[in-house]
Chain A
Amino acid sequence: MSGFRTISFDAIIVGGGGAGMRAALQLAQSGFRTAVLSKVFPTRSHTVSAQGGITCAIGSADPEDDWRWHMYDTVKGSDYIGDQDAIEYMCMEGPQTVYELEHMGLPFSRTASGRIYQRPFGGQSKNYGKGGQAARTCAAADRTGHALLHALYQGNLKNDTVFLNEWYVVDLVKNQDGAVIGVTAINIEDGEACFVQAAATVLATGGAGRIYASTTNALINTGDGVGMCLRAGFPAQDMEMWQFHPTGIHGAGTLVTEGCRGEGGYLINKDGERFMERYAPNAKDLAGRDVVARSMVLEVLEGRGCGEHGDHVMLKLDHLGADVLNSKLPGILELSRTFAQVDPVKEPIPVVPTCHYMMGGIPTNIHGQALTRDSAGSDELVPGLFAAGEAACVSVHGANRLGGNSLLDLVVFGRAAGKHIEELLQQGMQHRNAASADIELAMARLRRLDESSEGEGVAALRSELQDIMQLHFGVFRTGEFMREGVEKLSALGQRIENAYLADKSKAFNTARIEALELENLFAVAAATATAAEGRTESRGAHARDDFRDRDDDNWLCHSLYFPAEKKIGKREVNFKPNIVDTFEPRERTY
């Protein structure tokens, strides 16, 4: 295999966040040879930044709570393009998955009776929207993601999972039949490139918020998994659907949890008015995130923004009192003092809608198996390839994700993928053979960088990309302006293909990693731009000035972006849950 070392496992998981480590845990417990390849030490993954909690109907805050109510909220929150079989599975399996995390040691906050503390979050209701606000989000103070990620890492240590930490996965390796047979990867510490072979490859690489200039996402969120799939010719689904979180700290982009509003905080404009009462009379500040983010932008556009430039609004928390803030939102106090130089105990926090979450991703079924299209236009499994978490699009979030559903998505579908792979391996799923040409093809990208002798630097190209996305594909979008963005992107794409890597050294060369990441960012951005321009309606997080209404006749469907043709197609949404009746699309108000 021309000089490349080959390492072999039954299953590999790319990414050490919540989804990857939950899948790894399942497989480690089953005894199959499993490895997690993560470009950072696992507890540095972006799951660690999740704050508010994990939503599911464990019936602690309200013994009458029902997973079907959670399902109803999620379907409605998705603006009806979430797949109902997947949402049903997630909401039904949720409680068991959360109990497992608790048994693993996750230090949830507690109620007086010793059960897991649950707080209200946006878009939650009782009795199918008829029973008022629910409190369904299980929390460990405002550090739930940190607590969850560390508990999962601890669980994996206990079960002797193999970790290849600080290994960067470059590309999928496909064989002649189109099956995925492993990945090419670099050991960052010494720069060695390897072929890592596996019967099952799980992409749990998280989101790609770094395609935007202003994002709550970690610097590592560069959409590596989606980029790899697109390069391998597989489609990506619903890439136009990006959630802008209402409360990112103005200027810094750092996230302030929705839990703030769950605990009783609210947004005010420059007149001190609680403006969400006008936009969502019932749910107010706890309407869906897309609704709140749009309302905030409208306040700013209509001249009621705060600050010197009138470009943000304020999140008021001081009325909750120091005791509640210290016990329920200690991390928020810390972040606000550091990044906004304000003390929420005394004054409000300046916030703006900030890119937060990629609802789209690699299309999968509920077992995490990646899907593509056959020539007849129906779904087809990609042999050997799986995806879970933010990188995947199952799709449980549709056009808008509800707060607290992302952590649930990670662990439910990480676990489901792990279980399914376990079954397949038990049934005798084998390594597929690789021809050296297959590996050479996947190594080509690495070679190009090492041979580059001139071109533009990565940092400048990256910030240009982020500025284009921020400007042309933000909270409000219009067709003509997006087409302009698509053209700019296509010009930028050619320059990115010729990006120059000056430093060709091997040991911990972060410049090489950033150059490889840039190509993934671009692949995701191009998919987003094309899909956003193509979907001629407003739905969930996708809001167009030139098509202001939801168009169920034409667009009650997923979009599929095909990288080879650079075009989008449509894929049916699943309206057939197994146990409950279908939730029919209705007008979505809060």
Chain B
Amino acid sequence: MLVSIYRYNPEQDEKPVMQNIDVDVPADRDLMVLDVLELAKARDPSIAYRRSCREGVCGSDGMNINGVNGLACITPISKAAGPGRKLVLRPLPGLPVIRDLVVDLSGFYRQFEKVKPYLINDAPPPAIERLQSPEDREKLDGLYECILCACCSTACPSFWWNPDKFIGPAGLLQAYRFLADSRDTASAARLAALDDPFSVFRCRGIMNCVAVCPKGLNPTRAIGHIRSMLLQQGT
């Protein structure tokens, strides 16, 4: 199988190039993109990419696969490229490239940290757990599962344009995860911090985030919920 990989080593290359590598893939089973990368790396160990759990839960290997952001470890090559077609691997778009498929995620993490992604409840905790009804807990489904792979934010044009001021879909999903938590008592302060023209309101409902999320989450809906909460608080 022909694999085209974005190569850039800052110590050697002035400009990035696409390198074509022919990788022998077993015909009897469908590999994941990460398996193909590992085969390519066995031949050329200088290819750099992040990977860890290889089962789609750690969020390390987000990359641009044939034009679509996704996790290499759970994207089958049959789905990514199709029979006879070239597999094209590039780093996640819109972020500085450190080397090859490795991007600098510090800006992405900064936006995540901005939403104070932790439970705030200043009441002294009880001797046991804080009680929460199954209905209230259900509100966190579709939110807490985020793995911070950055596929969504780096697919979002608004995040490309204002990466320093638009929180981006991943951060906003987490912002809503805490707004929706019945145990959190800081809603008012959280909303006040989001009420500028950039943090939330740069979302244009393009929904690239929804299309690429490898966990099937829906950041656009969460952003809609935040907007409704802002509206309720503002009126």
Contacts and interface: CB of A to CB of B under 8 A. Distances in A.
| Whether chain A touches chain B in the assembled complex (some CB pair under 8 Å) | yes
Given A41-B105, A46-B53, A508 B129 contact: no
Interface in A135-164: 140, 143, 146-147, 150, 154-155, 157-158
Interface stretch (B41-49, B151-159, B219-227): B41-49
B99 A219 contact: no
Interface string B24-66: 0000010000000000011001101111111111111000000
Interface in A29-78: 40-41, 43-46, 48-49, 58
A107 to B, nearest CB: 5
B134 interface: yes
Contacts of B46: 502-503, 505, 509, 511
Nearest to B46: A503
A423 interface: no
A116 interface: yes
B119 A218 contact: no
Contacts of A495: none
Nearest to A189: B98
Interface in B128-183: 128-134, 136-137, 140, 144-145, 147-148, 178, 181, 183
Interface string A208-221: 00000000001110
Contact of B48 (A58, A111, A510): A510
Interface in A509-547: 509-511, 514
A48 B11 CA distance: 34
A204 to B, nearest CB: 16
B55 A146 contact: no
Interface stretch (A96-104, A268-276, A441-449, A473-481): A96-104
Given A109-B137, A458-B45, A511-B46, A147 B144 contact: yes
A506 B12 CA distance: 11
B125 interface: yes
Given A49-B57, A218-B52, A157 B147 contact: no
B129 A103 contact: yes
A157 B98 contact: no
Given A99-B128, A506-B11, A335 B42 contact: no
B99 A507 contact: yes
A158 B178 CA distance: 14
A110 B134 contact: yes
Given A48-B57, A338-B74, A459 B42 contact: yes
Nearest to B58: A44
A99 B57 CA distance: 25
B50 A146 contact: no
B148 A514 contact: no
Given A108-B129, A113-B131, A154-B119, A508 B52 contact: no
B113 interface: yes
Given A46-B53, A58-B128, A459 B144 contact: no
A339 to B, nearest CB: 7
Nearest to B146: A150
A49 B99 contact: no
B102 interface: yes
Contact of A48 (B53, B102, B130): B53
A146 B49 contact: no
Contacts of A147: 144
A108 to B, nearest CB: 7
Contacts of A509: 46, 48
Q: Of A109, A116, A219, A505, which is in contact with the most chain B CB atoms at under 10 Å from its CB?
A: A219
B117 interface: yes
A507 B9 contact: yes
A3 interface: no
Contact of A104 (B11, B119, B136, B178): B119
A110 B128 CA distance: 14
Interface in B89-104: 98-100, 102
A40 B45 contact: no
Contact of A44 (B41, B53, B144, B181): B53
A508 B48 contact: yes
Contacts of A44: 50, 52-53, 58-60
Interface in A178-228: 189, 218-220
Interface in A215-247: 218-220
A155 B119 CA distance: 8
A459 B41 contact: yes
A150 B129 contact: no
Interface in B1-27: 9-12
A146 B129 contact: no
A308 B51 CA distance: 32
Given A103-B125, A505-B9, A154 B118 contact: yes
Contacts of A510: 45, 48-49
A146 B53 CA distance: 12
Nearest to A502: B45
B53 A218 contact: yes
A189 B98 CA distance: 7
A457 interface: yes
A112 interface: yes
B80 to A, nearest CB: 13
Given A44-B59, A105-B181, A508 B118 contact: no
B131 A114 contact: yes
B52 A46 contact: yes
Contacts of B54: 218-219
B182 to A, nearest CB: 10
B119 A143 contact: no
A460 interface: yes
A9 B211 CA distance: 44
A400 interface: no
B95 to A, nearest CB: 14
A49 B118 contact: no
A168 B231 CA distance: 47
Contact of A457 (B11, B45, B52): B45
A254 B55 contact: yes
A430 B155 CA distance: 49
A155 B118 contact: yes
Given A40-B52, A43-B59, A44-B60, A115 B134 contact: no
A181 B125 CA distance: 38
Contacts of B119: 103-105, 154
A441 to B, nearest CB: 27
B199 to A, nearest CB: 18
B42 A219 contact: no
Interface in A108-136: 108-116
27 contacts: A41-B109, A44-B52, A44-B58, A45-B52, A45-B58, A49-B53, A49-B58, A58-B128, A102-B129, A103-B121, A105-B118, A105-B183, A107-B137, A108-B129, A112-B134, A113-B131, A114-B134, A158-B116, A218-B54, A251-B29, A255-B55, A338-B56, A458-B45, A505-B46, A507-B98, A507-B99, A510-B49
Interface of B: 9-12, 29, 41-42, 45-46, 48-60, 74, 98-100, 102, 105, 109, 113, 116-119, 121, 125, 127-134, 136-137, 140, 144-145, 147-148, 178, 181, 183-184
Given A108-B137, A459-B42, A502-B45, 16 more contacts: A40-B50, A41-B148, A44-B59, A45-B52, A45-B58, A98-B129, A107-B137, A109-B134, A110-B136, A143-B145, A157-B117, A335-B56, A457-B42, A503-B46, A505-B9, A507-B10
